[in-house]
Every structure is written in structure tokens, then in C-alpha cells.
Amino acid sequence: MSKDQAFKTGYVAIVGEPNVGKSTLMNALLGIKLSIVTRKPQTTRQRVLGILNREDAQVIFLDTPGLIKPKYLLHEKMVGQAQMALAEADVILCLTEVSRKTELPDEVHKLVFERYAGKPILLIINKVDTIHKPDLLPLIEAFSKESAFKEIIPVSALKQDNLADLVKTVMKYLPEHPPFYPTDAVSEQTERFFVAEFVREKVFDLYRDEIPYSTAVEIIEFKEREQGKTFISAEIVVEKDSQKGILIGKGGVALKKVGRLARNEIELFLGKQVFLELRVKVREGWRDKEGMLQKFGYGGKH
């Protein structure tokens, strides 16, 4: 960094409807997997903070739950997490993807454009690797008529196309400021948080229908040992006994698979071997109970 070049630091919220690739985009920008990713909508339930440290800047990305019309108290908390990120943000990345055409849901208009018109909002059109290039131009032209956007940037988070240009554009709108976090930090969230998320990711990956949405994961014990594997005990919480049976599977086979896959992710993330113990507990209607949501970390800021 040259002497006359000021250091920049700021918060960048990644928002949009479910399943447009917000978590994939943040992971790709950071070059590390922090946000869990599945094919199912509403995988992200909390604001996940990821830090991109550069010689000339500290860019603090905030991955957020999809903007939806809430059905449960949990959904309200999820939208609240997105709103919190929007309030913190110096720059807003409004993410859509090519198959949505020019449709942006009412929630985006209401929660982003109406409330935060004073902030720089960049439209990011994701998954451009799935469209013919000539079909992209009319999309960009149609969106460019929308006065809400400072700039429009087409990307492919999955293929990591045009991400350098995205970061360069974001940098233009960040304020000059010393770093907020140590320059070797990648997040403010704890290892326990990410471990619980990796377990939940595998539940989303392996089960269909309502099971993933009825589950929460709580870390009961996290013991680092000087010798031997780190011991982690986690509870997967469901709402019904029938869900517990499905989650465990015949002879515990299904739960063992969750454990095996989650352990691989956790070991990769922590850089050490772990012993992962999983149990399943039933907590009826937890998605609509304030106390339970607080207990599972969905009540507010980490």
C-alpha cells in the first residue's frame, strides 16, 4: 500500500431472497468456508460475519438469512438478523440470480430499498455461468432503470467469476478507517458456533421435507485436549418423536452418517482431529418459543 493510499474498513451486507447464493458468494470472496451451504432455501438462520483482510482494507462481509415472509417466530428472528446486518452495513450487496429474471420480491423492496436508500446498494446478479452471455445484457439493461442501484455486477460465486471486480467496486464505497478486527481474524463468531452449523448443514443435506427445518443444534461440550482428539458433544433438537426416529434411522445408521460427514467438515475447519458425539432431543414447538430460540442462539447478536 502506498503512503498516500488510505486504509479502508467497512461492513458489507449480502442480502436477498432465499437460495440465490449469498453463502456461496461470501465463502468464495473469503476463500474459506464459513457459511454453510445446501440446496435447500432458508439454510442460513443467522448473520454470519466473515473478514477479508487486504493490505489496503478490511472488508467485513455479513452473510444473512433470506428475506422472507415469516411463518414462525424463528423466521421473524431470521429476518431480524438480516435487518441488523443492513443497519450495520456501509455497503449493501443485493443479490439475485439469473433465473429470477428481473423479479425482486416485495421483502427486498420493503426492507432494503425503502429503508436504506441512503446507503450504496450494489445489485449482484449471480449464477451467470448458467445463462448465455447475450441473454445477460437485457437483464442488466432492465435493472439499470432501477434507480436504487449504484452499480450492477454480474458474477458466478460457484465458478468464482468476476469476484475481483466485485471487491474492487465495493472498495470504492468503503469509508477510510483503521481495521476493526485483528488483521489475522476471519470471523468474530466462535468455533462452537461453526461446529453447530456444520452439523446442521449435514442434516439439511441428508434429510428431506420438514426434518431440516424442525432441527436446531446445540453444542453441549467442547473440550480441547493436549493429547488425543478434541471432544465435542452436540444435541440435535427436533419438534416431534417421529422426527427423532427418522433422524436416528434404523439401528442409528442415519445419525452415524450425519456424524461422519459433519466430523470431516469440523476437522477441516479446526485443523485437528475430533471425537463427535451426537444425540437427538425432542422440544415441541421450539420454533415458536422465545426461550428456546434464545437458548439455541437465535435470539440476537453473537
78 and 156 both lie in a single domain: yes
In the block, cell 452415524 appears at 256
DSSP label at residue 185: -
Number of domains in the chain: 2
Domain of 273 in residue numbering reads as: 191-295
Q: Does some domain include residue 2?
A: no
CATH number at residue 24: 3.40.50.300
Q: Does some domain include residue 291?
A: yes
Between CA 295 and CA 298 the distance in angstroms is 7
Residue where a domain terminates, one of 117, 145, 173: 173
CATH number at residue 237: 3.30.300.20
Written as nine digits, the cell of 122 is 450494489
20 and 115 both lie in a single domain: yes
156 and 202 both lie in a single domain: no
Q: Does some domain include residue 166?
A: yes
Q: Does some domain include residue 76?
A: yes
Instruction: For the chain, give the percent of residues with pLDDT over 90.
Output: 88
34 and 158 both lie in a single domain: yes
150 and 277 both lie in a single domain: no
3-state SS assignment for residue 60 = strand
225 and 95 both lie in a single domain: no
29 and 166 both lie in a single domain: yes
Cβ atoms of residues 66 and 41 within 8 Å: yes
Task: Enumerate residues 6+ apart whose C-beta is below 8 A from 126.
Answer: 20, 21, 25, 95, 96, 97, 98, 155, 156, 157
In the block, cell 446478479 appears at 125
84 and 40 both lie in a single domain: yes
Q: Does some domain include residue 24?
A: yes
Q: Does some domain include residue 120?
A: yes
In the block, cell 445477460 appears at 136
Angle at which helices 241-248 and 253-270 cross, to 10°: 70
pTM above 0.85, yes or no: yes
CA-nearest of 178, 204, 216, 240 to 297 is 216
Q: Does some domain include residue 186?
A: no
Residue where a domain terminates, one of 144, 173, 202: 173
Between CA 140 and CA 165 the distance in angstroms is 16
- What string of DSSP letters covers 75-125? HHHHHHHHHHHHHH-SEEEEEEEGGGTT---HHHIIIIITT-TTS-EEEEE
DSSP label at residue 49: E
166 and 200 both lie in a single domain: no
Between CA 48 and CA 138 the distance in angstroms is 33
288 and 215 both lie in a single domain: yes
Residue where a domain terminates, one of 123, 145, 173: 173
DSSP label at residue 227: S
Between CA 237 and CA 176 the distance in angstroms is 44
Q: Residue 168: its pLDDT value, please? A: 97
161 and 220 both lie in a single domain: no
Q: Does some domain include residue 181?
A: no
Written as nine digits, the cell of 166 is 466485485
Residues with pLDDT less than 50, the chain: 301-302
169 and 24 both lie in a single domain: yes
- List, for residues 5-48, the tens digit of each pLDDT value: 799 999 999 999 999 999 999 999 999 999 999 999 999 999 99
